[in-house]
Amino acid sequence: MWPYKLQCFECQRKFLAQEAGLRCKTCGGLLEVKFDLAGKREPAWNRRQLSVWKYRELLPIEKEESRKLGLKNLYIKNEGENPTGSFKDRGMTVAISKAIELGKKKVLCASTGNTAASLAAYSARAGVECIVLMPKGKVAGGKMLQVIMHGAKLIQIRGDFDQALEVAMELADKRREFYLMNSINPFRLEGQKTLAFEILDQLGNRVPEVVVLPVGNGGNISAAWKGFSEFQQLKIVKNRPRMIGIQAEKAAPIARAVKSRQRKIRPLHNPQTIATAIRIGSPVNWPKVLLAIRESKGTAETVTDRQILEAQRELATLEGIFVEPASAASIAGLRKLSEEGSVDPSETIVCVTTGHGLKDPSVLERLPKSQTGYNLEITNGSSLEALERIL
Ligand code: F0G
């Protein structure tokens, strides 16, 4: 940080930050931060990643803070910060580029919402026609809005995600002009593997012992495993993390297979969970997921809706990170595993949160009244007393 003072916008008097308050002590004018830029040159900003803190010399903050959630070496890789608010963008930018390379004019997906939102956005940008199939009444409001806003053709299926994907695959098989962008598309998974590259990059190529992800169709966990494996083959890193997949209790064909040591999954009919993003009974990528978990000596775990909602609130209130319920599943699962002792709190753990909390405002209806805030009607200027009483 470069040196600065607070200067009054009116009388120009200067104050030190500690003594200043929010208004000029002499005339009550507005204050402004004034850096002493005499003799200063541009730091090596072009070598830093784009972020608010890239420009830290010109920000009036001295101390660097790090974030923690109880576990000593836990990192949250928050994929909700991607352009459309979920991890899907990594895969979609690559898959759309490939679709264009292949001369495709129409792209198609079935989705619980995030794939659709991402595909709709990247299709709009690329100028290709986008068709999305979504299970009616089972998709979070924010995701529906994204799909509509980006101008995709939205088809709602009476049924669940698994049925929507089945009919999408049939259509893509029969009519080649519709290019399927679900996670059976291998090019999309290539984009998604960059999650692993980025985790290693951000940790300075220190390999975390454990990576925890929510699992639906299983595209993301298997793509991440592929990414870690490629960096190992390139000898950028020596080993790979244990991969841990978390599913919702009533939508957990993969966790069930892992726990009962089956080599195959048994598809589940009518899966249920508040985490609609991972409400999937017949995950297409199951062979890749089971192999990734086995090879990495990882595991899979289930969590209840209640544990998911608790973890969502915990992450939001303790860390200021707001994720959607499916993402909170990874936090809830990690908590369960560390309580059981399957994860050692001293290990370096990366928990991937996959989508932004704003995507699913329906959670508001699930919160207890005690958590939804106080009411105070300000009827006249004398309400300060009432306000102070509440506080
Ligand atoms: N988290 C979120 C927020 C998701 O949207 C999904 C999948 C997952 C986790 C699971 O990822 O399927 O690669 O194992 N959403 C898909 C969709 C199914 O249509 O948006 P996965």
Buried b (16+ CB within 10 A) or exposed e, 201-238: eeeeeebbebbbbbbbbbbbbbbbbbbbbebeeeeebe
What residues have CB less than 8 Å from 43, skipping those under 6 apart?
Answer: 57
Contact yes or no for 10/27 (Cβ under 8 A)? yes
Q: Give the model confidence (pLDDT) of 167-195 as tens digits.
A: 999 999 999 999 999 999 999 999 999 99
In this prediction, residue 381 carries a pLDDT of 60
- pLDDT per residue over 192-239, tens digit each? 999 999 999 999 999 999 999 999 999 999 999 999 999 999 999 999
Query: Which residues pair with residue 132 across a beta bridge?
Result: 109, 154
Q: What angle do CA 245, 235, 50 make, to 5 degrees?
A: 70
Atom of ligand 1 nearest to the CA of 113: 20
Question: Looking at ligand 1, which residue's alpha carbon is closest to its atom 9?
Answer: 214
Enter the tokens of residue 99. Answer: 């679709």
| Predicted confidence (pLDDT) per residue in 12-53, tens digit | 999 998 888 899 999 999 999 999 999 999 998 888 888 898
Residues touching ligand 1 (Cβ under 6 Å) are 86, 111-115, 183, 214-221, 277-278, 324, 326-327, 354-355
Confidence of residue 82 (pLDDT cuts 50, 70, 90): very high
**What pLDDT, on the 0 to 100 scale, is given for residue 58?**
95
Average pLDDT over residues 250-258: 98
What is the pLDDT confidence band of residue 67, given thresholds at 50, 70 and 90?
very low
Query: Does pTM top 0.95 for this prediction?
Result: no
* Smallest CA separation from ligand 1 atom 19, residue: 111
Output the residue whose Cα is nearest ligand 1's atom 10: 216
Q: From ligand 1's centre to the CA of 245, what distance in Å?
A: 12
Q: Is the pLDDT of residue 380 over 70?
A: no
Q: How far apart are CA 161 and CA 158, in angstroms?
A: 10
Instruction: Indicate the SS3 state at residue 241.
Output: coil
Centre of ligand 1 to C-alpha 291, Å, is 19
**Ligand 1 atom having least distance to the Cα of 192:** 13
Residue type, 139: V
Average pLDDT of the chain to the nearest whole number: 94
Distance (Å, whole) CA 169 – CA 179: 10
| Alpha carbons 211 and 267: distance in angstroms, whole number | 25
Nearest-atom index, ligand 1, CA of 214: 9
CA of 95 to the centre of ligand 1 (A): 16
Ligand 1 pocket test, candidate residues 278, 303, 352, most atoms within 8 A of CB: 278
